Structure 1
Amino acid sequence: MTDLLHQLHEQLRRPSPALPGRGDTAARWQRLAALTAQNTVLGRLYEAHADAIAITTDLQHPDMVSAGQLWGVWAAEPPSPVLTATRGDAGWTLSGTKPWCSGASLCSHALVTATVTQEPEDDGDGAAQKMFFAVDLTSPGVTPMPDTWHAVGMAASDSGWVSFDQVPAQALGTHADYLDRAGFWHGGIGVAACWYGAARAIAEPLLLRATGPTAAPILRAHAGAAGASLTAGWALLRGAARAIDANPQNLPLAKAQAFAVRTYIDRMAAEVIDRTGRALGPGPLASDPAHAQRVADLSVYIRQSHAETDEAALPAIIAEHGLSWDHLIGDAHGTW
């Protein structure tokens, strides 16, 4: 953990990557991929911090994230537990529990979603709405909860639950203000760039072995397939970056691009894990702790994708917004 924190703070001392949609999105994703190839948890935590900078900029608070701070983005909304927000004379406070908070005891600040239960006299039905807040995690009442993350994969990301007890928070807008941005989907592709970087690192021993003079044909076949998939994955990420820079505020297209890219990189990462294991056998998993940890970490990390549910969403987005598949596939085929 000490080494991870050293690497993380070393990155925080460097200039932040370009914001997505500002002309250098590919370089942003390349940096995220490179960091995650170095250490999966390092890339995951830094991606969230970089995303927090992009989110607060989109929400008209461009100077909110200061030097020396480490921000998380804690926006998971399962049915339970629930984090609630109350507005009093002194402003907003948060109480309850937030699950799946990466960097729970490492981050200095976080962006969080919380449920506001309005009084019946406010809207007549006591309906609950969700809002988006910035929180200083050094405030009294913030308590990371031990033993709430049981996976071996991503264990170092410290992604457990966090308890809040009347913690002051700054409202940045509604949950919709956070979600209904092209930048939300640009950030989702940034996560896929991290998946790519981790998959590239996992494939490294396979790709190296395959170029040796005594490499078996089966090993070379697995390496060729994995290498081709990685090549296609990076081409897809670069193409999406160009499209975002050319049309950064097109929300429906950004959403469709995010689902297309994420579903491909998710499947590509799973294929790389599978092919590397099938080609090299149990040796690297049993004797190389860094490789074994990468496999465990990425296997959990890619489950931020919702698999076939996300794949099914893609044609629905195309239909709902009157897009054409050619917006994603391109027109290299000419006119059908």
Structure 2
Amino acid sequence: MELDRQLSERARTIGAELAAGGDLGPALRIARELSPVAVDLGDDSQRYLSTLASLAHGDLTVARVVEPHLDAQAILAQAETDLSPLPGEEGVWGVYAAHAPGHHLAGTAEADGIWTLTGRKPWCSLARELSHAVITAHTGPSTTRAFALSLDHPGVSYPDDKWVSRGLSRVRSTSLELDGVPAVPVGGDGWYLSRPGFAWGGIGVAAAWWGAAAALRDTLHSAAGRREPDQIALSHLGHADVLVHAAGTALDDAAQRIDAGEGTGQEGAVLAARVRAACADVAERLLTVVGHALGPGPLTGDEEHARRAADLTVYVRQHHAERDLARLGSMIREESLPDEAGG
């Protein structure tokens, strides 16, 4: 996986401005600027993944703003959705597909063919800052569908949910309350989860984890250049490099498989689960390796490093650790593996 160092530096500059109290405007602008990258997913997936990795290498808040926008653009393109009924659809988008106890969002087809959404949706990151979203809603007792909607509609409100996170502190997640908000269907019932791009979007998030891990590796490399490292320091650097290289290779392989048409159905689900697990593992292990190598100094005296460590700790929790590994184990349980003797 190759990093675009110029794009990384742009994200780093924007992140520093945000940390100094700046607004999210520059991050939202770079999201709109990068919208054309969304169509590369499934065609030139290497570019799509490296874009997200490069942004995360520079700053994770910037990457966290851009990633769902690109995911939404890819979803809408794949569904060939006509957005003309929505005002200002060229804005910055989010994707809200989480479910939680006590939250239920229902989609209702009206007599004139228009759909409306009513209810509550959890974990809607940056909803107050964005213009539109792809959101999933229940259309029946056991069916869901994706919809596109404008977040500027008067039927959209924001409960006062707590957000005390020290990591990704500027990417506030809240619930959404919708009351008769008009929406455009994106695919049919069940399409959102069954489409090939569902797995690909999850790999995009993994690319962001990997980009931040690569930045932690680079922090170790820089520290080794400031004074003569001992054997322990060199061991930490070597360990970090092996981990980053291995996960980067997994991302490269995923991009090639997606573009070759091998990332669909069950094959795509297994591919995404493997790559996400590999990138989550390298992110968590790099946080530990760098902590052991550099001690508390950078966490207490280097604002950029401390922010990256806090941001990555929160971001990587989108991987559900042992539960996601168990899900992967369930998927491969019935797969036939190569014969150890015959290859």
| Shorter-normalised TM range | 0.7 to 0.9
Residues 53 and 62 in structure 1, CA contact (< 8 A), matched pair in contact too: no
Pair 1:17 & 2:12 matched = no
Q: Report the residue type matching 2:266 in the other structure.
A: P
| C-alpha distance after superposition, 1:57-84 (max 9, x if no partner) | 2222277797741010000012222222
**In 1, Cα distance between equivalents of 2:337 and 2:197:** 21
Q: How far does residue 249 in structure 1 lie from its aligned partner after superposition?
A: 5.7
Q: How far does residue 284 in structure 1 lie from its aligned partner after superposition?
A: 0.8
Pair 1:69 & 2:91 matched = yes
| C-alpha distance after superposition, 1:294-325 (max 9, x if no partner) | 111111111111111111222322345xx445
The alignment partner of 2:173 has SS state of coil
1:101 maps to 124
**In 2, Cα distance between equivalents of 1:21 and 1:335:** 36
Q: Report the residue type matching 2:296 in the other structure.
A: P
Evaluate the alpha carbon distance shift between residue 305 and residue 69 of structure 1 in structure 2; reply closer, same or farther with a 3 A threshold: same
| C-alpha distance after superposition, 1:229-274 (max 9, x if no partner) | 0011111100111111112563111111101000111111000011
Evaluate the alpha carbon distance shift between residue 312 and residue 128 of structure 1 in structure 2; reply closer, same or farther with a 3 A threshold: closer
**In 1, Cα distance between equivalents of 2:144 and 2:254:** 30
1:265 maps to 279
Q: What is the number of residues matched between the two proteins?
A: 320
Residues 21 and 247 in structure 1, CA contact (< 8 A), matched pair in contact too: no
Q: How far does residue 188 in structure 1 lie from its aligned partner after superposition?
A: 0.6
**In 2, Cα distance between equivalents of 1:63 and 1:85:** 17
| Residue number among 60, 63, 87 corresponding to 1:43 in the alignment | 63
**In 1, Cα distance between equivalents of 2:200 and 2:152:** 29
Evaluate the alpha carbon distance shift between residue 220 and residue 60 of structure 1 in structure 2; reply closer, same or farther with a 3 A threshold: same
| C-alpha distance after superposition, 1:30-88 (max 9, x if no partner) | 01101111111211221111111111122222777977410100000122222222333
Evaluate the alpha carbon distance shift between residue 195 and residue 325 of structure 1 in structure 2; reply closer, same or farther with a 3 A threshold: farther
2:311 maps to 297
Evaluate the alpha carbon distance shift between residue 56 and residue 92 of structure 1 in structure 2; reply closer, same or farther with a 3 A threshold: same
Pair 1:280 & 2:294 matched = yes
The alignment partner of 1:78 has SS state of coil
**In 1, Cα distance between equivalents of 2:292 and 2:177:** 42
**In 2, Cα distance between equivalents of 1:92 and 1:36:** 36
2:253 maps to 239
RMSD of equivalent CA atoms: 2.4
| C-alpha distance after superposition, 1:186-233 (max 9, x if no partner) | 111111001111122233221211244422221221111011100111
Q: How far does residue 19 in structure 1 lie from its aligned partner after superposition?
A: 3.1
Q: Report the residue type matching 2:332 in the other structure.
A: I
Unpaired stretches in structure 1, ≥5 consecutive residues: 118-126
The alignment partner of 2:39 has SS state of coil
Is 94-103 or 77-86 further displaced after alignment? 77-86
4+ residue runs over 6 A deviation: 62-67
Unpaired stretches in structure 2, ≥5 consecutive residues: 1-17
| C-alpha distance after superposition, 1:63-119 (max 9, x if no partner) | 7797741010000012222222233335222222211111111110001111235xx
Pair 1:33 & 2:33 matched = no
1:124 maps to none
**In 2, Cα distance between equivalents of 1:194 and 1:325:** 31
Residues 27 and 66 in structure 2, CA contact (< 8 A), matched pair in contact too: no
**In 2, Cα distance between equivalents of 1:208 and 1:325:** 42
Residues 57 and 63 in structure 1, CA contact (< 8 A), matched pair in contact too: no
Pair 1:189 & 2:211 matched = no
Evaluate the alpha carbon distance shift between residue 325 and residue 78 of structure 1 in structure 2; reply closer, same or farther with a 3 A threshold: farther
Residues 94 and 167 in structure 1, CA contact (< 8 A), matched pair in contact too: yes
1:122 maps to none
